[in-house]
Chains A and B, each alone.
Chain A
């Protein structure tokens, strides 16, 4: 979030600077270009280098329900899901997500396909893969969930980690886009974690215990206050997951585009001497952030699942302790976050 604020501040500054020198239309053009590139769209756009042309690949639109486009100020807009229209169109980010999923499946099936009679992996790929798997299992699952319940959630955490990592990394290749830089994608992932967390809680405490937990373990007179608070608390966790991943992945890309866009805003090739190395630095940082954010998402998922599992073990009294634990961890993430930006 902080990154996004810095980003907007710098956009403002650039606009102020740009409007004094260059034409207003120029900077808006650059901003439009950037937003066009990080946003989702209904077609794949493959730019041909050194020309102003691009290959446009239209993607199928899948509309379920009564979907008649309405005319608004910003062109044609489809009615929302509340108005009875479900838009299941395949978009640029959907394609990128599928591409990442296919790459993930291919590479993991190749890396994990080794001589099963030997207990020790051979080769860089298999070793790296096992290292990451063991890291997720020992450092994330077992540390946050516990030795007994941890292994049960390892496959989920591993999948989340690698899936997010691959989507993050895919966005760093030319002509590709970052699916995790889309709120809907991160929201979908966070919803998965949310469901797993609630199931872990219900599994550990039973459905009654799970519901009892929503009261916060206080006197029934306080329930009208406590239940909404606890209920909201359920959703803040996935919301934090959603926004953190989205903002981090989006902001890095916008910063890179913006640094390169400076050349065109200031209309002087010499700017490239500064902005290209900077953009390169940010790119390397993005490479790091791709790993960090995959780690953070998985880690927080493990933490939330661990809190759900802990419901069954300790009853209501411990809720506060866990709350503290969570804040401690988010604090850590704040730091990692700053490091990343």
Chain B
């Protein structure tokens, strides 16, 4: 049959000790050469790269934490500043309005005072004017009366009479008449 012929003729299942020997020798040589020339440097390089990456990641993390802390700090400071500013503004505004109120009150008071003084002055002047008019009217009436009567009279007596007369005159009308006549 076929199979026995195949197996008998084939030397592919045969194990040659010489080839085992050569395999081991070659393998060991290749390993030694590659170990010295390739694996050592490459693995070292890779190791170095890995540590560097790990370090970078670590420092980046640390930096991030730092940056976050700093950011929070800055935010807090900004908030505080803003609060302070608004506080100041509010205070200023309050002061301003108080000052304004005060000013207003003062000016109102001043105005009132001036008004009152003016009124007083007016009254005084008025009274003075009235008194003047009165005395002028007395003089006038005396003159008139002396002219009318054409007779010497006791001045004081006449004067009392005229005074009496003048007292009976309506004030406004007399004043107006006096002013017109003067």
A residues within 8 Å of B by Cβ? 8, 11-12, 15, 27-28, 31-32, 35, 38-40, 62, 73-74, 81, 86-91, 93-94, 97-98, 101, 104-105, 108-109, 112, 116, 119-120, 129-130, 133-134, 137, 151, 154-156, 158-160, 162-163, 181-185, 187-189, 191-192, 250
Q: Complex: how many Å from CA A73 to CA B3?
A: 17
* The residue from A39, A86, A93, A120 contacting B10, defined by CB atoms under 8 A apart: A39
B residues within 8 Å of A by Cβ? 2-3, 5-6, 8-24, 26-31, 33-35, 37-43, 45-46, 48-49, 52
A86 touches B19 (CB 8 A): no
A11 touches B20 (CB 8 A): no
B38 touches A39 (CB 8 A): no
Q: Complex: how many Å from CA A16 to CA B56?
A: 70
* The residue from A73, A97, A116, A159 contacting B45, defined by CB atoms under 8 A apart: A116
Q: Complex: how many Å from CA A89 to CA B11?
A: 15
Distance in angstroms from B76 CB to nearest chain A CB is 41
A74 touches B8 (CB 8 A): yes
The chain B residue with its CB closest to the CB of A180 is B23
B52 touches A39 (CB 8 A): no
Distance in angstroms from A163 CB to nearest chain B CB is 6
10 pairs, A vs B, C-beta closer than 8 Å: A32-B9, A35-B9, A81-B17, A87-B17, A109-B37, A133-B46, A158-B39, A162-B34, A184-B17, A188-B21
Known contacts: A119-B49, A151-B43, A158-B39. The answer to whether A163 contacts B27 by CB under 8 A is yes
Known contacts: A105-B30, A133-B43, A184-B23. The answer to whether A112 contacts B38 by CB under 8 A is yes
A88 touches B21 (CB 8 A): yes
Q: Which B residues lie within 8 Å of A81 (CB)?
A: 17
Q: How many pairs of residues, A versus B, come closer than 8 Å at their CB atoms?
A: 142
Given A35-B10, A159-B34, A185-B23, 4 new contacts (CB under 8 A)? A88-B18, A134-B46, A137-B43, A188-B24
Distance in angstroms from B87 CB to nearest chain A CB is 56
Q: Which A residues lie within 8 Å of B42 (CB)?
A: 112, 129-130, 133
B3 touches A94 (CB 8 A): no
Q: Which A residues lie within 8 Å of B27 (CB)?
A: 159-160, 163, 188-189, 192
* The residue from A112, A154, A163, A185 contacting B19, defined by CB atoms under 8 A apart: A185
Known contacts: A39-B10, A101-B26, A109-B37. The answer to whether A93 contacts B2 by CB under 8 A is no
Q: Which A residues lie within 8 Å of B40 (CB)?
A: 155
